[in-house]
Amino acid sequence: MAADVTLLQYALVGFASLLASVVGGVAGYGTGLLLPPVLIPLIGAEAVVPVIGLSALATNGSRLIAFRQHLDWRRAGIVSLFALPFSALGAYGYTLLSGPGAMLLIGLVLIVLVPARRLLARRHGHLTDKGLALASGGYGLLVGGTSGSGVFLISMLLAAGLSGMAVIATDAAISLPVGIVKSAVFLWQGALPLSAWIMAGVIGLCAIPGAFLARRLTGGLSLAAHAWILDGVVILGGALVVLQALRHLG
């Protein structure tokens, strides 16, 4: 993959990563949703989830440092405990998919997660610890085999009663160990060659400043308006990926 990607394309990916990191730092999600349409034409659908999962270690690590004072340790522990084993299972299942199959899965998940996020958001403050633990298993399976399912985690945390920067910090604290487990499974399955590490490194390094820029912007933006804009971009990107997958299948 590395030999086929030009320096200009790496620069495009880096710029997209920086923008996605800012969006993710403000809204709590977005990095894994916005990058697939950029990455798929360059590295192929099969490599998207492993590359984004590996790069997310830097993304979530920097986000956790930037928002660490707002972290809810108890809920982060509950979700991580129940999500980690299922994320390993989901990552293993992803490695068995074909190229068009992976593209179709990514596109459909991007589209479905938008109404799923809004449906869960309506339950704000009504998800108990037991409900959070139960939902965490489903989230783990989803996040292990897809890109962008952080939307689902954000909605879970909102439904559990968190808000504002506490959601962003707790999401990062959960996503970091989940990303380590996913990357370990992908490495074991041979889905992380050197070229994937190079691309993930570009994404991760360019995303780090975005977390701290997002912290400065958080107080001045309307999260509701931003969420509507992002949802529109996500649905459009998902639809384009699905069309590309169907074209390959046909």
pLDDT per residue, tens digit, the chain (250 aa), is 555 788 898 999 999 999 888 877 776 666 777 788 888 888 887 788 889 889 889 888 888 998 889 899 999 999 999 999 999 998 888 777 656 676 677 677 767 777 776 776 665 557 789 989 998 998 888 888 777 677 778 778 877 878 777 888 898 999 999 989 989 998 998 888 998 899 999 998 988 888 788 777 766 656 666 567 556 656 766 676 677 667 766 6
Q: Is 127 helix (H, G, I), strand (E, B) or coil?
A: coil
Burial 186-206 (b: 16+ CB within 10 A, else e): beeeebbeebbbebbebbbeb
The Cβ of residue 247 has, within 10 Å, a number of other Cβ atoms equal to: 10
Question: Which SS3 state, helix, strand or coil, does residue 1 take?
Answer: coil
Strand ranges in the chain using DSSP code E only, listed in sequence order: none
The pTM score is: 0.74
What residue type is 192 in one-letter code?
Answer: L
